[in-house]
């Protein structure tokens, strides 16, 4: 049986690998699926963790998709965007590459450790493959996100930012705001891929409206809700920019 930990490079998975090592539990591989579109802070964290893994004699593996490009390039070339409904970005660039790597241990069987904290129990899922067993140690040990942060600090490591692609359609308004403020070049790229998609502006990367509208609201130091409430739905501006839908 092989023991493999899914490393997302965020708070939960970082705390999980620390605890696995401290408890001297079996761990054959730590695996990270690189979409090519994580935040710079996340890649910096991975660089630091690589050194930590070496000191602990941990096999760290980075996988990538079969498409030989970043997730951004994949969707840009297809003139579309990642959709919340289908989540094919997760499948193509994370789940499938990881499964491909661990499939070499199919005959032995695999236990996959997943970093879901005890305050996220609703995210627990079971494997659809008989030779893979998902385990959630943080839930089992009753370790929530706050405790995860304490574990990382105690180990003397920096607290990582929330991991995820810079153009992730599941981001809340605050994350888009931080992206614009701290990584305007990435916000610009996200706008470019959103605006070139064939179904724009009907389909966007945000929950409501477009990134152009988000950018305007951020620059005016307003929440997206406040920004929308100041616009009248019948105006020429709204008809052209939001295709007739708005926040209520």
- The pLDDT of residue 234 is 38
- Look at domain 2-154 and name its CATH class: alpha beta
- The pLDDT of residue 34 is 97
Model confidence, pTM: 0.87
- The pLDDT of residue 219 is 85
- The pLDDT of residue 228 is 62
Domain boundaries defined on the chain:
2-154, 173-242
Q: Token digits for 205?
A: 């990367």
Query: What region, left, alpha or beta, does residue 90 occupy, with left being phi > 0 and alpha being psi -120 to 50 degrees?
Result: alpha
- The pLDDT of residue 86 is 77
Low-confidence ranges of the chain (pLDDT < 50): 232-248
| CB neighbour list of residue 81: distance below 8 Å, 6 or more residues apart | 75, 167, 169, 193, 194, 197, 203, 204, 205
- The pLDDT of residue 227 is 64
- The pLDDT of residue 220 is 84
- The pLDDT of residue 88 is 84
């Amino acid at each position: 049986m092989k023991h493999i930990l899914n490393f997302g490079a965020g708070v939960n998975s970082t705390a999980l690998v620390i605890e696995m090592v401290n408890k001297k539990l079996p761990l054959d591989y730590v695996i990270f699926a690189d979409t090519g579109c994580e935040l710079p802070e996340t890649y910096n964290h991975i660089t630091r963790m690589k050194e930590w893994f070496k000191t602990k004699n941990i096999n760290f593996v980075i996988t990538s998709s079969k498409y030989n490009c970043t997730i951004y390039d994949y969707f840009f070339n297809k003139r579309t965007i990642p959709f919340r409904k289908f989540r094919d970005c997760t499948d193509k660039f994370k789940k499938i590459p990881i499964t491909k790597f661990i499939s070499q241990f199919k005959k032995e069987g695999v236990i996959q450790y997943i970093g879901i904290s005890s305050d996220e129990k609703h995210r627990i899922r079971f494997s659809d493959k008989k030779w893979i067993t998902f385990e959630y140690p943080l839930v089992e040990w009753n370790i929530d996100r706050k405790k995860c942060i304490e574990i990382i600090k105690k180990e003397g490591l920096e607290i990582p930012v929330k991991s995820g692609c810079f153009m992730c359609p599941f981001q809340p308004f605050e994350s888009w705001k931080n992206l614009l403020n701290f990584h305007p070049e990435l916000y610009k790229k996200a706008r470019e891929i959103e605006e070139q998609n064939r179904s724009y502006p009907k389909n966007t990367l945000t929950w409501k409206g477009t990134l152009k509208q988000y950018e305007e609201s951020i620059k005016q130091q307003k929440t997206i809700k406040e920004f929308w409430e100041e616009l009248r739905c019948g105006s020429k501006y709204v008809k052209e920019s939001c295709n007739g839908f708005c926040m209520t």
